Structure formats: C-alpha cells, structure tokens
Amino acid sequence: MQAILASAYAEPAVEQPEPVPLEVLEGTVPADLSGVVLRNGPGRHGRGGVRYGHPFDGDGFLQRLVFDDGEARYSARYVQTREFRDEEAAGHIVHRGFGTNRPGGLRRNALSMRFKNAANTSVVQHAGHTLALWEGGLPHAVDAVSLATHGRFDYGGRLQNPFGRLERLVNPELPFSAHPSICPRTGELWNFGTAYGRRNRLLVYRVTPDGALTRRVVETDDLPFIHDFVLTERYAVFAAPAVTFDIARTLLGLSTPVDSLRLRDAPGTAIVVPRDGGEVRRIPLEPGFVFHWANAWETAGGLVLDGLKYPGFPDLDDMDALCATERPELLAHLTRITLDLDAGTARETRRCAHPMELPTRTGTGEDAVLYGVAGPIDRRHPFLSGLIRVPPRGEPTFVDYGHALPGEPLPIGDWLVTQAIVADDDSLRSEVWIVHPETLAIQARLKVPSVVPPPLHGTVLDG
Ligand SMILES: [Fe+2]
C-alpha cells in the first residue's frame, strides 16, 4: 500500500481551468465554512519519461478551493514560468534544476548556472499581488481567481541583483523565499533570500502594505541554507545550519546544487535581525536542520521558537523509497529553542514525541495551538499518515488515517482543510478533507477530479 502511495509522484497533475463542484464522498461540507484556499506544490515530477532528480524540482501547480454555502468548488493550473513553457514545447527536460541535471552528462551541465524556477512551494497574497513562490528565484505573479500567470515579479526592479558582475551573471535576480511572514500589527510582509557569491549573503526584505520593498544585507561565513524564518514583534530570526557547499562540483556539472550541499555535524547559528535596523546577533545552536518553524514569541530578554528539527539535512532524492524505507534522518520533531539574547545562548528541548511536518497554527504566542502532519511515535520511516494537534499545554491529539498521506492542515474558520493522497485497493485518489480542529475527526471527504502529487504550502484568502 505504501508503494502505491509513493506512486503519487509518478503522474503529472491535470489542470482544471474552469471551477467544478467537488463530489462529496463522505460527510457534509459545513454551512459555516466559507473562504478560498490556494495551494501550491510540485504538480509534475518529470518530463519526456525522465524523472526530475529531486521532488522540489517539480513544476508549480496551483489549486484553488472555494467554500461557500455548504459547497466546494475546485480549479487548478500550472504556473506558466518560462522554463515550464520551454519544456512543454520541447517535451523533454531543457533546464537544470536545483536537484536535477540535464540528461547528457557534463557536456550539458557544466558552466550552466541558471536553474529552473519551479514556482512550486507556496503562495501568498499581499499589497494587491498574489505570488507563487519558490525560494531560489523570483516569485511569479498570478491571478488569484483564474490562476493565470502574469509573469515574474521583481517589486519594481528591487529584486534585480546589484552585487558584482560575476554574481549577476550567475544569478541576475535575487531569490525571494517561499516562507514570507505578514506582520499582523504593521501589515508589512517580511521575507528573505540567500545568495552565494564571493561573500555569502542573507538578504532580509521588508515590503510595505503598498508594495515597496527595502532590503538589508547580512553577510555570513557559510552559505546560509535557510528555508523558513520567524517574525516576532521586534525581530526576524533565521537558523543557519552548518553546511558546506561545493560550488566547484555544481559549476562543473558533476553534481546538482542539492547534492553539493553537506550538513556538517557542527553547531548552527541563530541569526537575530532586529526589525528596526539594530545590530545583528548570532547565537550558536545545536547541530541539525529546521525546514519549518511553527511558532515564535518574545519573552523578557529572549525569544522562544518552536520548529521541526531534523537530526541532519533531509535528503529527499528517492521519492519511491520515501514511504517504504526506514530513514529516521527524514523525521523531524517539534523542538523548542529558547534564545537568551543577553547571555547569547540557546537551550533546546523536544516538545512532542511524534514525528511531524508542515506545521500550521491558530492563535499566537505561548497560547497558540499547533497542527501538522504526523506519524505514530514509533514510526521510523517518513510516512506521515496522520494529523496532530499540539495544545500549548497538555498532551497532543494524534489521529492516524491509515493508508493516506494528508497534507498541510490549513485553519479556515472553525475548521481545518487539508488535501490527502488516499490509497484504496490498488488505486490512488486525491481528496480534500474538512477536519474538526479539536478531535481531528474527518467531517467531510471530497474527491479531487484527478490525482495530484502531494502539494506543499497554501494560504487562506477571505471569501
Ligand atoms: Fe516549506
């Protein structure tokens, strides 16, 4: 059964440009559920019979769900990046990806340092723009209703690379990560990008509610390999693991950028950037890697961060084996990191014994309730077949749904909405689940018109 689930990555998702009502397989859509969910994720994992070398190279596929008056309507389209259009026209892999070299060996990859913008990781709406996000390059502006792609979006030129001729040649545009954070107090969007060059740079972006972007540069010793960050009242905080990046191997085409990254068994660094422009603080962290943060808040003299920590860098190169192989290095656990800004120290404790990923939350600060996909405590392979609710105090609630891979549980009104891959006998189905946020019981299962590879992140828009 797990092998069937692994095959969820095999077939490309099918577009559904015109909204259609979703068939209810079980339960009812609550009448009080209202709003729009946009999700992004890698919708196709190969081209011309050749599999991409890494799941994060899959082409961005936007899905839109509208809940209204006890009904759900669905539409979906690929993000029409220029690389996607190139490969659609060619019918085979044309571009190098972050985890994919072009077929043809060194001759086809050496000295080629422009990588496909997969536009596949998340989506955000801010300052009148809806953006499909990918951490290695520019966002793509899309239409939040039709899902049509407007094109690459650089905030009026502010994401054009200003750093040196050689760096511009390699990377003419600055990256804009897939995990921005909107400050509820100021309405500003904060985000970051990481740039490798003669100097490694962490670029911290602030976008005003009317869409003006300013940038702060923080230089780092290592390549700041960072996927997500936390924004608190006064700080933007980044956890940089100790990594080695073999630029020569990537440049020569001997390996992909992802394969050129090695996590060292050495302390990481919490980079604490004051939002008001004050001095940057650096605090050593225990070794390991955090893909996603779940929550953070300030205390007297410090910060508390809840994140999902891996013992090493999770190598996701073999999706077929993912669901079936014991690979404890691919399991993250909810970990609390308490930073003492006066002493410059960090303390780490594990908050929950279940392996967990794709966190979301309701509420803020120490009273927030956390959600995520999760597995049983004794699971040793990264088959996260359940959802979890972690209250601020007391025991978590975990429900294992069996032969299913639920996705990121998005809070919407009084409900959670997720998209799951479900294995049924010898076939697969994608389903939208409406889930009770206290018990994690499924209120309704809706059938997505075709099988869609597991999406990554989404956002909830006002109806
Ligand atoms: Fe992410």
**What is the reported pLDDT for 168?**
79
**What is the reported pLDDT for 392?**
96
Burial 291-318 (b: 16+ CB within 10 A, else e): bbbbbbbeeeebbbbbbbbbbbbbeeee
Q: Is the pLDDT of residue 320 over 70?
A: no
Of 237, 35, 64, residue with least CA distance to 146: 64
pLDDT tens figures, 22-39? 999 999 999 999 999 999
How many angstroms is it from 165 CA to the middle of ligand 1? Answer: 31
How many angstroms is it from 458 CA to the middle of ligand 1? Answer: 10
**Residue scoring higher pLDDT (250 or 364):** 364
Measured CA to CA, the distance from residue 9 to residue 59 in angstroms comes to: 12
Cα atoms in the 13 Å half-sphere on the side-chain side of 441: 6
| 78, amino acid identity | Y
Q: Is the pLDDT of residue 251 over 60?
A: yes
How many angstroms is it from 343 CA to the middle of ligand 1? Answer: 31
pLDDT tens figures, 143-167? 999 999 999 999 999 999 998 887 7
pLDDT grade, residue 463 (50/70/90)?
A: low
**What is the reported pLDDT for 235?**
98
Start-end of H helices in 18-149: 82-90, 106-109
Q: Is the pLDDT of residue 116 over 70?
A: yes
How many angstroms is it from 427 CA to the middle of ligand 1? Answer: 28
- What is the average pLDDT score of the chain? 90
**What is the reported pLDDT for 412?**
96
pLDDT tens figures, 36-65? 999 999 999 889 888 887 778 899 999 999
How many angstroms is it from 178 CA to the middle of ligand 1? Answer: 7
pLDDT grade, residue 110 (50/70/90)?
A: low
Q: Is the pLDDT of residue 257 over 80?
A: no
**What is the reported pLDDT for 383?**
83
**What is the reported pLDDT for 421?**
94
Query: Do residues 291 and 303 touch, judged by C-beta distance below 8 A?
Result: no
How many angstroms is it from 426 CA to the middle of ligand 1? Answer: 30
Can you give 267-283 as a three-state secondary structure string?
CEEEEEEECCCCCCEEE
How many angstroms is it from 189 CA to the middle of ligand 1? Answer: 17
How many angstroms is it from 104 CA to the middle of ligand 1? Answer: 31
| 161, amino acid identity | N
**Considering the chain, what percentage of its residues have pLDDT values greater than 70?**
90
**What is the reported pLDDT for 228?**
98
pLDDT grade, residue 410 (50/70/90)?
A: very high
Q: Is the pLDDT of residue 425 over 90?
A: no
How many angstroms is it from 278 CA to the middle of ligand 1? Answer: 28
How many angstroms is it from 121 CA to the middle of ligand 1? Answer: 7
Can you give 110-135 as a three-state secondary structure string?
CCCCCECCCCCCEEEEECCEEEEEEC
**What is the reported pLDDT for 1?**
57
Helix and strand totals (H; E) in the chain: 6, 35
How far is C-alpha 380 from the chain's CA centre? 23
Q: Residue 378, exposed/middle/buried by CB under 10 A (0-12, 13-18, 19+)?
A: exposed
pLDDT tens figures, 63-104? 999 999 999 999 999 999 999 999 999 998 888 777 666 666
**Residue scoring higher pLDDT (305 or 315):** 305
